[in-house]
A and B are shown apart, each in its own frame.
Chain A
Amino acid sequence: MANALPRSFLQVATTEEVASPLRVVQMEGLAILKIIKHCKEFSPALVTGQLLGLDVGSVLEVTNCFPFPVREDDEEIEADGANYQLEMMRCLREVNVDNNTVGWYQSTLLGSYQTVELIETFMNYQENIRRCVCIIYDPSRSNQGVLGLKALKLSDSFMDLYRNNNFTGEKLREKNLSWVDIFEEIPIKVSNSALISAFMTELEADAPVTQCDYDRLQLSTSPFLERNMEFLIECMDDLSMEQQKFQFYYRNLSRQQVQQQAWLQKRRAENMTRKAAGEEPLPEEDPTNPIFKPLPEPSRLDSFLITNQISNYCNQINGVAGQSFSRLYLLKALHEN
């Protein structure tokens, strides 16, 4: 862009800004380590914190973060928490850290993060920051030598629906939104400053095997899989509850329709006789009648979230089982040797 005409600030300000979609989250190693440390120290309790960084075009840079204290249900403490946040931001600004909030991070247990709370928090953040992201870290995965880090955002069409609180079947069909489309995962890039890169190269141990390798080649995965299955089964129960709710709703709906039809037929027959007698026909609708009251349709949000969670567990089981296969075959080959 060196030979492009220089543009004045006014020109830049007046050109309508086209929001390019968020494609990549670029995280600094520092932020990753901070998140990992915080989440791991408090595991299995779930913790959250704030992400700081810059929004550059289609890349969202996460350069720093700070943890939130463990939340308590006291209002006084909540106000304290807000103070803490401001204070921390102020302090970090003083040492020249980027102090734009770009989202938040939270730890999760076996990837069970798809909750209504997460969506609510996201909507809250979205109100203030146009582009924000949620980083999810799973400490239980790191014991297997996997960096369980994910960047998520809600899809735009889902946010529209959520704002209007429209989770009826009709609307969902109109928007063609299924449970897969609630969350969007954004690829994560990692960047480090040259200085850190130099130090890490310097400090990398000469040992041929790292902790990561040990963790990955660990044979016992059953505790992880067992808990995963437990969670999965719970979710299946929840899902069947939700489905029962829907069945109940549909049964009521069809019963109501039958009642309406019967009432209408009766009314029509009555009108026929009235016509024959030369009287005015009665209206074919009666809003006061309870059978015309529309039944509230249960929200599909819960079942969508549960479905999401189930598919997540399934993916995890698949992934871990796949790893175990390779480990077992490796073991077999080694033993035969």
Chain B
Amino acid sequence: MATTGKQTVLQFTPSTASLTARVHPLVIFNICDCYVRRPDQADRVIGTLLGSLSPDGIVEIKNSYAVPHSESSDQVALDIDYHHNMLLSHQKVNPKEVIVGWYSTGFGVSGGSALIHDFYSREVPNPIHLTVDTGFGNGVGTIKAFVSVSLSLGDQQLAAQFQEIPLDLRLIEAERVGFDILKKTAVDKVPTDLEGMEASMEHLLALIDDVYKYVDSVVEGQVAPDNSIGRFISETIASLPKIPPSAFDKLVNDGLQDQLLLLYLSSIIRTQLSLAEKLNTVAQIL
């Protein structure tokens, strides 16, 4: 590094230490859908990410839309009118969602990315760049988030660098809907409440069985004991409230009685409805 007389500092601005991105499953669905429906000649799709920025440095990416673009060897042309129209439309529905960045399919950052990033930097300070590898290049669908930091020496800007930031892909919302529905290409019917309940219970029983098996095999000495697992199990058991059996029975019975009462009431109402229906038709004949 060339050092002149006065002190120059080589630094990254802005610092990105505390930025995390959280992706709503809808965004991934939307990107995939846009990729499947992309025009013939296009290799990738790019689009705008909408969401919100919380004060503790978590960027929530909640929505997205594709922006048509054309790409030649060294330049990228975005349809900026389209981008603005779509933004206006989205904000009519949900004014709280603002631009937080942009996405592109493909693995990692590519050449044209800096140009597009530049454009989005003018729309919003410090945008996020999300890349989704729809080609499954190395066998996994990699999803990454980047921010751009500019490397500067004193006042002089040297380069822009894309720095990866942590991405939270837990997709609670998708779990709520159920991965069983979302991960298959065809599901014949949406599970009803009781079927869902049954699945969850079976799940729970299987888990309890697993724990039993593990504990038994440890006791018999087949498996080496693991303290941390043991601690988890004892914590779980300790979290059950200690209630004397009589009080517990009362609790359960009260609950059952309440539910039974409701069932009874709703059956009575139903009977009444069919009765009223009959009476109405009789009244019509008179």
Contacts and interface: CB of A to CB of B under 8 A. Distances in A.
Given A37-B26, A332-B252, A310 B183 contact: no
A325 B256 contact: yes
B174 interface: yes
Contacts of A208: 203, 207
A213 B136 contact: no
Interface string A321-337: 11111111011100100
Contact of B204 (A179, A193, A213, A243): A213
Given A144-B193, A319-B194, A335-B240, A91 B179 contact: no
A188 B181 CA distance: 12
Interface in A130-179: 141-142, 144-147, 149, 169-170, 173, 178-179
B175 A32 contact: no
A189 B188 contact: yes
B187 to A, nearest CB: 4
B266 A319 contact: no
Interface residues of A, number: 93
B82 A325 contact: no
Contacts of B265: 229, 317
Nearest to B39: A96
B259 interface: yes
Given A33-B173, A204-B179, A326-B201, A314 B266 contact: yes
A194 interface: yes
A311 interface: yes
Given A36-B177, A91-B85, A196-B33, A145 B183 contact: no
Nearest to A148: B193
A190 B256 contact: no
A169 B82 contact: no
Nearest to A240: B276
A28 B182 CA distance: 9
Q: Which of A178, A179, A210, A222 has the most CB of B within 10 A?
A: A210
Most buried by B among A196, A310, A326: A196
A41 B29 CA distance: 18
Task: Summarize B's interface: helix, strand, loop or mixed.
Answer: helix
A325 B260 CA distance: 9
Given A146-B196, A196-B29, A188 B189 contact: yes
B167 to A, nearest CB: 11
A192 B197 contact: no
B177 A32 contact: yes
Contact of B89 (A87, A198, A332): A87
Contacts of A145: 176, 196, 200
A106 interface: no
A95 interface: yes
Interface stretch (B6-14, B120-128, B218-226, B277-285): B277-285
Interface stretch (A62-70, A259-267, A287-295): A62-70
A22 interface: no
Contacts of B172: 211
A95 B200 contact: no
Contact of B169 (A37, A203, A331): A203
A257 to B, nearest CB: 10
Contact of A30 (B33, B186, B194, B270): B33
B233 interface: no
User: Which bucket holds chain B's interface residue count?
Assistant: 35 or more
A246 B286 CA distance: 14
A190 B203 contact: no
A61 to B, nearest CB: 12
A115 interface: no
Contacts of A144: 193
A32 B280 CA distance: 41
A95 B187 contact: no
Contacts of B187: 189-191
B171 interface: yes
A312 to B, nearest CB: 11
Nearest to A178: B277
Contacts of A205: 170-171, 175
A30 B35 CA distance: 13
A17 to B, nearest CB: 27
B231 interface: no
A210 B203 CA distance: 10
Interface in B5-42: 24-26, 28-30, 32-39
A46 interface: no
Contact of B37 (A68, A91, A97, A330): A97
Interface in B142-183: 143, 169-179, 181-183
Closest 10 CB pairs of A and B: A200-B183, A211-B175, A169-B284, A314-B266, A96-B37, A190-B187, A216-B200, A30-B29, A210-B175, A321-B259
5 contacts: A179-B277, A191-B187, A199-B32, A217-B201, A325-B256
Interface of B: 24-26, 28-30, 32-39, 62-63, 65-66, 68, 82, 85-86, 89, 92-94, 132, 134, 136, 140-141, 143, 169-179, 181-194, 196-197, 200-201, 203-204, 207, 240, 243, 248, 252, 255-256, 258-260, 262-263, 265-267, 269-270, 273, 276-277, 280-281, 283-284
Interface of A: 28-30, 32-34, 36-38, 41, 64, 67-70, 84, 87-88, 91, 94-97, 141-142, 144-147, 149, 169-170, 173, 178-179, 187-205, 208-213, 215-217, 222, 225, 229, 232, 236, 239, 243, 246, 250, 307, 310-311, 313-314, 317-328, 330-332, 335
